[in-house]
Amino acid sequence: MSFIIAIDGPAASGKGTIARALARHYGFHHLDTGLLYRATGARGGDPVRAARALTPEDLDRDDLRSAEAGQAASRIAAIPEVRAALVDFQHRFAAQEPGAVLDGRDIGTVICPDAQVKLYVTASDQVRAARRAAELGADPAEVLAQLRERDRRDSERATAPLKPSPDAVILDTSTLSIGDAIAAAMAEVERLLPR
Ligand code: CDP
Ligand code: CDP
């Protein structure tokens, strides 16, 4: 059985950076599941058909990181049939040996409820907006408004809303450097990794 690390959290909390670092350290596969929703939105047309037709090549598009792609993703991510169409791919990815790290919104709650490690990475919305604005070279106030809108939509939707799994360890990175955040996440994995 493969070892699964599920990392969820709101936008720009640091979950992707932590997920990549853990995957590199342990030699596990890594999937940024946000890309599935971003790529589905970017295909355009009927979102349910787009989700069903998604190919791994779609995840390599270089326009997926924009704020617009993020907003489009969160709108189509509220559609239950879109989410259902993306489940198999995530399950197959998670089953890869020797292990997999998946980051998103519903990994610990819906996609991999039996994951050996569940982390919920968060930070204040001001801090998250400042980080994302620095990455995109955008205005922090504008990014903050967009981020709040997206978090609200993700948390309030009926299907697979953003929320910590009751058994997730909460990691608030508001005052942590990225190195300290990775170290804290790794300490949690070390505690649960079979030796
Ligand atoms: O994947 P997610 O949207 O949650 O966030 P990310 O892409 O991992 O992180 C967003 C940005 O915040 C990146 O530029 C990280 O390097 C930065 N970051 C940070 O400065 N300090 C942290 N403790 C965590 C992330
Ligand atoms: O990197 P960031 O956290 O800003 O966004 P992302 O992880 O790429 O996710 C983009 C959007 O996809 C989110 O706002 C969610 O609406 C949706 N998403 C989701 O519904 N479920 C997931 N497992 C991952 C992303």
59-80 burial: b if 16+ Cβ within 10 Å, else e: eeeeebeebebbbbbbebbbbe
Residue 26 and residue 65 in one domain? no
End-to-end CA distance of the chain: 14
Distance from the alpha carbon of residue 59 to the mean position of ligand 2, in angstroms: 13
Backbone φ and ψ for 78, nearest 5 degrees, come out as: -85, -5
Residue 107 and residue 38 in one domain? no
Distance from the alpha carbon of residue 36 to the mean position of ligand 2, in angstroms: 9
Distance from the alpha carbon of residue 57 to the mean position of ligand 1, in angstroms: 25
Examine residue 195 and state whether it is found in any structural domain, yes or no.
no
Domain boundary among 17, 51, 85: 85
Residue 67 and residue 136 in one domain? no
Q: What is the pLDDT of residue 15?
A: 98
Binding pocket residue ranges, ligand 1, CB within 6 Å: 9, 11-17, 131, 135, 173, 176-178, 181
CB atoms closer than 10 angstroms to residue 182: 20
Residue 168 and residue 118 in one domain? yes
Residue 106 and residue 166 in one domain? yes
Ligand nearest to the CA of 39: 2
Residue tagged 């990994």 (tokens)? 107
- Any idea what the CATH number is for the domain that residue 120 is in? 3.40.50.300
Residue 39 and residue 23 in one domain? no
Residue 56 and residue 149 in one domain? no
Distance from the alpha carbon of residue 98 to the mean position of ligand 1, in angstroms: 26
Q: Print the domain residue range for 152.
A: 3-32+99-189
Query: Mind listing the pLDDT tens digit of every residue in the chain (195 residues)?
Result: 789 999 999 999 999 999 999 999 999 999 999 999 999 999 999 999 999 999 999 999 999 999 999 999 999 999 999 999 999 999 999 999 999 999 999 999 999 999 999 999 999 999 999 999 999 999 999 999 999 999 999 999 999 999 999 999 999 999 999 999 999 999 999 999 877
Domain boundary among 18, 52, 85: 85
Residue 58 and residue 137 in one domain? no
Residue 28 and residue 38 in one domain? no
SS (H, E, C) the chain: CCEEEEEECCCCCCHHHHHHHHHHHHCCEEEECHHHHHHHHHHCCCHHHHHHCCCHHHHHCCCCCCHHHHHHHHHHCCCHHHHHHCHHHHHHHHCCCCEEEEEECCHHHHHCCCCCEEEEEECCHHHHHHHHHHHHCCCHHHHHHHHHHHHHHHHHCCCCCCCCCCCCEEEECCCCCHHHHHHHHHHHHHHHCCC
Residue tagged 């409820």 (tokens)? 113
User: Which ligand 2 atom minimizes the distance to the CA of 150?
Assistant: 14
Examine residue 91 and state whether it is found in any structural domain, yes or no.
no
Ligand 2, atom 15, lies closest to the CA of: 74
Q: In degrees, to the nearest 5, what angle opens at C-alpha 106 toward C-alphas 100 and 110? A: 85
| CA pair distance 108, 165, nearest whole angstrom | 6
Total of domains in the chain: 2
Residue 15 and residue 64 in one domain? no
Residue 184 and residue 112 in one domain? yes
Examine residue 177 and state whether it is found in any structural domain, yes or no.
yes
Residue 114 and residue 23 in one domain? yes
Examine residue 125 and state whether it is found in any structural domain, yes or no.
yes
Q: Which residue ranges are tagged as binding site?
A: 9-17
Examine residue 175 and state whether it is found in any structural domain, yes or no.
yes
pTM for the full model?
0.97
